Amino acid sequence: MLRGTVEVEGCKLSSITMIISALLTDEPVVLEQVPVMLDHEILCDCLRRLGADVQRTGSTLRLHCRHLEPVVELPDAIIESVHGTTYLLPALLMRYGRVRLRRSRGGCNIGVRPIAHIAAVLRAFGAKVRLGDVIEASLPARGLVGCHIGLNYGAGNNKFISGATKTAILAGVLARGETEIENAYWRQPIVDLCRLLRAMGAQIEGEGSRRIRIRGVASLRAAKHRVSCDRLAMGTYIAAAAGGNEIHCRQASLEAMQVEADAFRRMGIELEQHGEDVIAAGARRLVAASLSTETLDTDLGPIFVVLMTLADGSSRLEDVVWERRFRYAAGLRRMGGHSVVRRRTIEVTGVPSLTGASVKARDLRSAAALLLAALKARGPSRIQGAAHLARGYEDLPGRLNSIGADIRSVPGGAS
């Protein structure tokens, strides 16, 4: 049985763009509740190489980009290692006036990571951009000028929306005139980013909706901001409550995951907000569901498939974002799950129980899903590739062990 309290770390995706935002001012930016993760350390290393003063004390980061070096080419190996370095492009462009950056091919291997939409957004502001393995961009003589950015949401284009929205915001806050982003991404990372930039003096309104308006300012100032809780980590802890467990998530809010909270409740997990805590209590048997990442967060899709595997009846999940998202399904089948993958959809028939097995995680969210399944299985499991977890969670095994799990590191994975 899992029972107890876990503290939810700050949001990984939010803090990535917040770290990069420090490049937009020569005054200090202090971020609180920043999780200790590999992706963040790589970005901080990039800023240090540019001459920034970066200091971490616990979960607090102090970033001061006052004395930056002349234009520096960051090592290709660093830039290519995580997807978040893509957002250095608009920030360095605004800071230096020109930028030459290796194209990032980092992140999990779950599908094609396009870059053309990032270039299209910058070109709409007037920047000159040349794409290739190395991306080159420069400001026009008059600087960037605010514009209308119309994003094509839906129809399989969802993977473009978040990155295009972040790029438009980072460019728009210091561009001359007004910028309007139509069909903007509306979820937590965008809301967090806009709140930080507003604290820095940016004029932004509409975050959390499909239309964001920005009036460019001449400069940004110092700010201090607390990163909100990571809804993806919280969703993982909530799912762990399935099977009659009760888990209290501290420093957590359901506000950032209303769609997912409704899906958890439909499947049989009770959720209650008590002040700054979320209490999750799971039924012993779950209810089947049909879900789509048209609204559900794609990164929580694998977690819901684990729940579907243990639900009564037939379920299905459609992933409209990533074309190679379901590679964890083979591991669930090795543990006794029943599923069939048909292009962008996985169809699941619930089973009474799972049995421990040796499985392989090929990406971050697969590792989380297989770890969750192993906790629900009878007997021990061995997960090869569990090291992926360090890219998206702050000690997920340790936090689960604190509430009754038995997870141990062994050579080649976790068991």
Round to whole Å and give the CA distance between 85 and 284.
42
Please say whether the beta carbons of 317 and 292 come within 8 A: yes
Would you tell me how many other CB atoms lie within 10 Å of the CB of residue 352? Answer: 8
409: nearest Cα among 386, 375, 379, 380 = 386
Would you tell me how many other CB atoms lie within 10 Å of the CB of residue 219? Answer: 11
Measure the CA dihedral 307/312/318/324, to 10°: 50
Our answer to whether residue 44 is catalytic in this structure is no
Measure the CA dihedral 119/121/127/131, to 10°: 0
Mention every residue, 6+ apart, whose C-beta is less than 8 A from residue 225.
18, 29, 30, 31, 32, 195, 196, 199
371: nearest Cα among 249, 240, 252, 275 = 240
Round to whole Å and give the CA distance between 16 and 13.
5
Catalytic residue, candidates 44, 108, 147, 249: 108
Indicate which residues carry an active-site annotation.
108
